[in-house]
Structure 1
Amino acid sequence: MSTYVDLQGAAGPWAAHADDAGVSVVINPATEEQVAAYRNATEEDVDAAVGRASVAAGLWGRTPPVERAELLLKIADAIEAEAEEFARLECENVGKPIAHAREEMAWVYDVIRFSAGAARVSHAPAAGEYANGSTSWLRREPLGVVGLITPWNYPLLMAIWKLAPAVAAGNAVVLKPSEITPQTTIKLVDIVNRFLPPDVVNLVLGDSAAGKAMVAHPKVRMIAITGDTATGKAVAASAAATLKRVSLELGGKAPILVFADSPVRETARDLVAFGFANSGQDCTAACRIIVEESAYNEFADAYCDEVGKLRVGDPTDVETTMGPLVSEKQLESVSGFVERARGYGAVIRTGGERLRRPGWFYAPTVVTDVEQTAEIIQREVFGPVVTIQRGRDEDEMLAMANDVVYGLSASVWTADLGRTMRLTRDLDFGTVWVNQQIFTASEMPFGGFRESGYGKELSGHGLDEYSQFKHVMVKPELTS
């Protein structure tokens, strides 16, 4: 079926016919039905967007922080007023359960409102006479034009994590969402542009070609991207040609260390929720559980029992707790991981197959009896697949946790304060939770180590990512 969709005109020049050449088609993953079709941006489109942003950046960067903050607060209010429509679009486009999409909206407003406040706060040292009889001070200045590339799993939230601090810091932006989940981003940009000066925020739609053009463009001073590790490496390599700044939030393989002193049933219940949220399509998903040996059998049984309570189905149903995978390609990728694991002797405790129904649904899957070196342990599956391993003691569990290339997030489940202090120090991950998972706070930075990328989002550090700092040193009198 051919469809024209432009979200009440918000898609502007990007609305297209599905049968046209150079078009990305948006599919509802729960029904496999076409939702929309959009024209892919060309290199010329990207160049034009960067040109508009370059002009806008000059004026916006000189706008006082208080004025930027006031506009951002209005944007947050406007998004909140349309929260239900955003949640509906996210449910339809990504396939996440509507109840989860609604809960996510509160994080969206909070990040915008925090960024508005952070724009007005300086962390610079006080002006003073530090050397040579001169007075020094530090200026925080915008970079100019920033390119933002966002992923398909949390399209709205990740757009806000980048857009809000970038704009708060005084930059103009060119924003490209994933071609398979652009719906909430289109609506977001439409709302933002009701309040901001023209061309401060520029939308481009399209596939990887548009992203590559943004990364290579000499007038783009920074690229911020959330994506997989391979994409991040390619972006960093391309950006090196113009020495532009890069912020990379990449893949993860979160280790979950469960100790015998943790309440087994409650811990299993919580970890199922954190492992299968968004169908496991989350770089911080609780996907790699390592259990102290004395509690392993009891925990594995309890965990599989809790997985059986998940309600997989129509994401528009408020009772649904897990929806489909985002695309047929992702379904095939996840299925491949499980089949290869089965082939080398892993035990599939539950799940391990596509569900027989319309849509790209894969059964919640638990894999045990798998070696530390196995692919399913070492690589990001990004789907509803959780592995459970056993560790003899704290030292072995720590070694297993750190024995991957990723370093995004981890969690520890214990009542032992001493163990908490040791492991939060020794786990080589950018975020370490204790007795919880996935939650973030706008006041705290988020970002990974090693092949999970570099750069920080959220907090004052997030605003600083989109700023450059200039030292001004003034000697009041000339001397001969």
Structure 2
Amino acid sequence: MILSINPATGEELARFAPHTAAEIDAALSGAAAAQKAWARVPIAERVELLRAMARALRAGKERYARLVTLEMGKPLVEAEAEIEKCAWNCDFYAEAAPRFLADEPTASNASESLVVFDPLGVVLAIMPWNYPFWQFFRFAAPAFAAGNGAILKHANNVPQCALAVEEVMREAGCPEGLFRTLLINASEVAGLIADDRIAAVTLTGSTEVGALVAAQAGKALKKQVLELGGSDPFIVLADADIEAAAAMAVKARFINVGQSCINAKRFIVEEAVADRFADAFCAGVAQLKVGDPLARDTNIGPMARINLRDTLHDQVERSVKAGAVLRAGGTPVPGAGAFYPPTVLDHVAPPMAAACEETFGPVAAVLRVKDADAAIALANDTEFGLGAALWTEDVARGKVLARQIEAGAVFINGMTASDPRLPFGGIKKSGYGRELGVYGIREFVNIKTVWIGPVQG
């Protein structure tokens, strides 16, 4: 059985029998047939589905947000923002997709030629629990606009959210069969990837799972987009606005209870301002409220599962044993639920766990360096390369340094975030491929050359 558990209480909310082999086969056949018809629909009509998706999301925002909070613990205010962001993404691509996918005339030896963008087919979307709506709709809006279909294999601790996504698509008038949610176990995924009715794969998840999926998709010669783990640096140089940086650092680390690939995790600060930053940061962390995620004034709800909390606490204990200074938190909250307090570790350095491993939860690591060169070197000293933040009052210098940071995105005087208008993705073991923006919509298309010779009269 696939169980839905409230991480704030440990209460079982619902249970579901996995889809059978016959149901999986029917879903794949239905999606393949529906996608062939969908691909022939003009893009001006396809984007109307996206507008309807946005309307359905906004109409059900209160109910969907509450479901997200109950099933994975995200504070309610943040869950509402997640639903609204999904709708924004749909609206953005409804307007931009016809422009992004317009034929491109290209001169070639005095003959006429075009570059056109055709859909690939049905895309298998393997999605995580931490943003149970956003992760799907981030992919789905451009994929459907481009003429693709989709099968969703969601994380098994958010089955109600997975089915709610299917409800949104149904309410929006999605063509029958073009999209299906499959409630299946991880052991079924390899068979889906190998199936000829699946044309491509997108995954957001851990680096370990990404490597496994990449191997399976590679064996089947299928396109993949992988958005994997991260240990994002938040670099604070001596000339930065320290108070502003510290205030933003609190949000950058603890939004979504610290459970995001692009949460800032390593706060790399020049020694000259490290005490000021750490003190201001800890003061901000002290204002965060841990509690019932359904309460509108809660900042820190439970982590998604008890085992994730235990893993995080082990990383904290190993870091302290290795010499890190515990400035806040550091002890699991007693009682029911997977609560862990906002935690700050100071004087962190490699090879401590908090410096070298991805800490997926409400734990911040402050690392001190002598100068900007050392900050960049330490920022790059990781197997990950998803996002980064850089704080400096000298923006011209910041632009130069940003090019030296090994990451898919660098935010100067801000926090790393995803935005429908900007490409999103990583390098190194944070994955490959891009979502969002014009680059995202062109991931799951056939970039086709059409060459037209002279007409023989």
Q: Quick check: TM above 0.5?
A: yes
Cα distance in 2 for residues equivalent to 1:268 and 1:427:
21
Matched-pair contact (CA < 8 Å) for 1:94–1:153: yes
Whether the aligned pair in 1 keeps the contact of 2:233 and 2:267 (CA below 8 Å) is yes
1:413 aligned residue = 391
Q: 1:154 aligns with which of 115, 124, 131?
A: 131
The residue correspondences of 1:256-335 to structure 2 (distance < 5 A) are: 256-335=234-313
List alignment gaps of at least 5 residues for structure 1: 1-22
Does the CA contact (< 8 Å) of 2:138 and 2:435 recur in 1?
yes
1:388 & 1:292 partners in 2: Cα distance?
A: 10
Indicate the residue corresponding to 2:169 in structure 1. 192
The one of 111, 116, 137 aligned to 1:134: 111
Query: In the alignment, which of 219, 223, 230 is matched to residue 197 of structure 2?
Result: 219
On the 8 A contact 1:256/1:410 being kept in 2, the answer is: yes
CA distance, structure 1, for counterparts of residue 352 and residue 43 of structure 2: 51
Which residue is 1:56 aligned to?
34
Which of 3, 11, 16 is equivalent to 1:38?
Answer: 16
The structure-2 alpha-carbon separation of the partners of 1:31 and 1:182, relative to structure 1 and needing over 3 Å to count, comes to same
Name the residue aligned to 2:346. 368
1:180 corresponds, among 125, 149, 157, to 157
> Paired residue for 2:46?
68
| Alpha-carbon offset, residue 334 of structure 1 | 0.8
**Amino acid across the alignment from 1:246:** Q
Whether the 8 Å CA contact 2:106–2:115 is kept in 1: the answer is no
Deviation, structure 1 residue 44 = 4.6
How do 1:231-246 and structure 2 match up within 5 A? Answer: 231-246=209-224
State the secondary structure of the residue aligned to 2:133: helix
Point out the more displaced range, 281-290 or 96-105.
Answer: 96-105
Native 8 Å contact 1:118 1:463 kept in 2? no
8 Å CA contact 1:257, 1:290 repeated in 2: yes
1:478, distance to aligned residue in structure 2 (A)? 5.4
1:388 equivalent among 366, 373, 378: 366
Counterpart secondary structure, 2:98:
coil
Q: For the residues of structure 2 that align with 1:126 and 1:101, how far apart are their CA atoms?
A: 39
Secondary structure at the residue paired with 1:274?
Answer: helix
- TM superposition shift of 1:117: 2.2
Separation in 1, partners of 2:126, 2:104: 35
Residues 202-241 of structure 1: CA deviation (Å, up to 9, x unaligned): 1101231233332222321100010010111101101111
TM-score (norm 1): 0.92
| Aligned-partner residue type, residue 358 of structure 1 | A
SS at match of 2:214: helix
User: Deviation per CA, 1:119-172, whole angstroms, max 9, x where unpaired?
Assistant: 3124566435522x5321122111011101111100100010111111111011
Aligned residues of 2:316 and 2:353 also touching (Cα < 8 A) = no
Contact 2:101/2:146 (8 A) holds in 1 = no
Matched-pair contact (CA < 8 Å) for 1:46–1:210: no
Distance 2:130 2:52 in 1: 26
The DSSP-based 3-state class of the residue aligned with 2:219 is coil
- Separation (CA, whole Å) in 1 of partners of 2:100 and 2:273: 49
SS in 2 for 1:399: helix
**Equivalent residue letter for 1:344:** A
**Which residue pairs with 1:13 in the alignment?**
none
Aligned-partner residue type, residue 185 of structure 1: A
Residue number in structure 2 paired with 1:163:
140
Task: Look up the SS of the partner of 1:170 in the other structure.
Answer: coil
> Which of 331, 341, 361 is the matching residue for 1:353?
331
SS, match of residue 465 in structure 1 = coil
- Give deviations 1:342-388, integer Å, cap 9, x for gaps: 22222222111110132100111111223222232111110111100
- The answer on whether the counterparts of 2:8 and 2:302 sit within 8 Å (CA) in structure 1 is yes
Q: Deviations over 1:13-62 (max 9, x none)?
A: xxxxxxxxxx1111011111011111223555433321111111110111
Amino acid at match of 2:333: L
- Structure 2 distance, partners of 1:126, 1:173, is 26
State the distance in 2 between where 1:328 and 1:25 align.
Answer: 14
Contact 1:46 1:213 in 2 (8 A): no
**Letter in structure 2 aligned against 1:92:** L
Partners of 1:42 and 1:268 in 2: how far apart?
51
User: 2: distance between equivalents of 1:95 and 1:52?
Assistant: 34
Q: What corresponds to 2:84 in structure 1?
A: 106
1:82 matched to 2:82? The reply is no
Q: Please tell me whether the aligned partners of residues 402 and 428 of structure 1 are also in contact (alpha carbons under 8 angstroms).
A: yes
- Whether the 8 Å CA contact 1:69–1:116 is kept in 2: the answer is yes
Q: Is the 8 A contact 2:112 2:452 kept in 1?
A: yes
**Equivalent runs, 1:451-462 vs 2, <5 Å:** 451-462=429-440
Distance of aligned partners of 1:476 and 1:418 in 2 relative to their CA distance in 1, 3 Å threshold: closer
Are 2:171 and 1:202 equivalent residues in the alignment? no
What's the CA shift for 1:257? 0.6
Q: Distance in 1 between matches of 2:404 and 2:106?
A: 39
In structure 2, what is the Cα distance between the partners aligned to 1:27 and 1:123?
42
2:403 is matched by which residue type in structure 1? R
Q: Following the alignment from structure 1 to structure 2, what is the Cα–Cα distance between the partners of residues 73 and 80?
A: 11
CA–CA separation in structure 2 for the residues paired with 1:371 and 1:266: 24
The 1-side partners of 2:99 and 2:45 are apart by 13
| Contact 1:96–1:323 (8 Å) recurs in 2 | yes
Partner amino acid, structure 1, of 2:224 = V
TM-score of the superposed pair, with normalisation by structure 2: 0.96
**2:198 corresponds to which letter in structure 1?**
V
Does the CA contact (< 8 Å) of 2:304 and 2:338 recur in 1?
Answer: yes
How many angstroms does 1:96 deviate by?
1.0
